[in-house]
Amino acid sequence: MLNVVLFGPPGAGKGTQSENLVHRFGLVHLSTGDIFRANIKGETELGKLAKSYMDKGALVPDEVTIKMLESEVKKHNAPKGFIFDGFPRTKAQAAALDAFLAENDTTVTAMLALEVPEEELKTRLAKRAETSGRVDDADPAVIQKRIDVYQKETAPVAEFYRDQDKYQGIKGLGTIEEIAQRLYQALEA
Ligand code: AP5
Ligand code: MG
């Protein structure tokens, strides 16, 4: 299996580039943010809980997130692999993913980390706010909070994969196509 953790701060292009990787490698795309938003739309209990954190730019608690991710992985029978977009976001989530994949005789192949300067992230998210309908894009203070939470709680997850020699930084500035080519090269090398 080819299991890719597509990593990066809010607005780095994880969702955009996941689409490219799905087409190129036939992987299953699992975005925890998208799954939470689908639950919010469906007015599920999970959605109600997730919304109370997401609207503020805070992380949904690990226990809930890990359980949800595992149940999503289990829905797929004999996939070529997964793109994990927006997960893991804490070291506890990274450890849980490793353990869960090991139980299923597989592992994370690589973490590809999209590197984008903070000013560019803010520009992209402010622009997306015009069309996304995402509550967490609408307020610059919430965008800043998401970036701060990323730096404090999520960026350290890179260490977890560096220690396993699975980390690769990818320059996330340029056209969508240029960045896609960098990701393909990293995975095909
Ligand atoms: P999530 O949905 O994962 O949001 P995020 O990490 O904040 O990132 P985004 O989806 O905003 O950005 P992206 O990197 O996907 O970029 P995109 O391709 O859209 O999480 C939302 C919330 O859910 C979290 O805050 C948290 O509350 C909760 N959550 C989710 N996962 C969780 C977890 N594991 N644990 C706990 N809580 C969790 O691109 C952004 C914009 O830029 C788009 O408009 C795009 O068109 C544009 N763009 C893309 N590439 C380029 C380019 N090369 N040049 C110019 N513009 C570009
Ligand atoms: Mg996204």
Query: Which CATH number does the domain housing residue 52 bear?
Result: 3.40.50.300
How close is the Cα of 60 to the center of ligand 2, in Å?
A: 15
Summarize the confidence of residues 13-18 as an average pLDDT: 98
Q: What is the pTM of this model?
A: 0.97
Q: Rounded CA gap, 96 and 179, in Å? A: 29
pLDDT single digits (tens) 80-115:
999 999 999 999 999 999 999 999 999 999 999 999
CA 59 remoteness from chain centre: 12
Q: What is the 107 CA–ligand 1 centroid distance (Å)?
A: 24
Which atom of ligand 1 approaches the CA of 87 most closely? 34
Instruction: Report the candidate in 93, 144, 117 with the shortest Cα–Cα distance to residue 13.
Output: 117
What angle (nearest 5°) sits at the alpha carbon of residue 128, between those of residues 127 and 130?
75
For residue 167, give the nearest of 130, 127, 114, 102 by alpha carbon: 114
Cβ atoms 68, 35 nearer than 8 A:
yes
The reported pLDDT for the residue numbered 42 is 98
pLDDT digits (tens, 9 = 90+) for 132-146: 999 999 999 999 999
List the domain range (segments joined by +) for residue 129: 2-188
Query: What are the pLDDT digits (tens) for 21-48?
Result: 999 999 999 999 999 999 999 999 999 9
CA 8 to ligand 2 centroid distance, Å: 10
pLDDT mean across residues, the chain: 97
25 neighbors 2 (Cβ within 8 angstroms): yes
What is the rounded average pLDDT of the residues 122-135? 95
Which residue, chain included where needed, has tokens 């560019």? 120
How many domains does the chain contain in total?
1
Which tokens sit at 47? 């959605």
pLDDT band at residue 189, thresholds of 50, 70 and 90? confident
Candidate list 51, 56, 122, 134, residue with the active-site label: 134
Give residue 155's pLDDT band: very low, low, confident or very high (50, 70, 90). very high
Assess whether pLDDT exceeds 90 at residue 20. yes
Cα–Cα distance measured from residue 79 to residue 72, given in angstroms and rounded to the nearest whole number:
12
Q: Who's near 130: CB < 8 A, 6+ residues apart? A: none
Mutate to test the pocket of ligand 1, among 7, 22, 36, 149 (most ligand atoms within 8 A of CB): 36
pLDDT score, position 139: 95
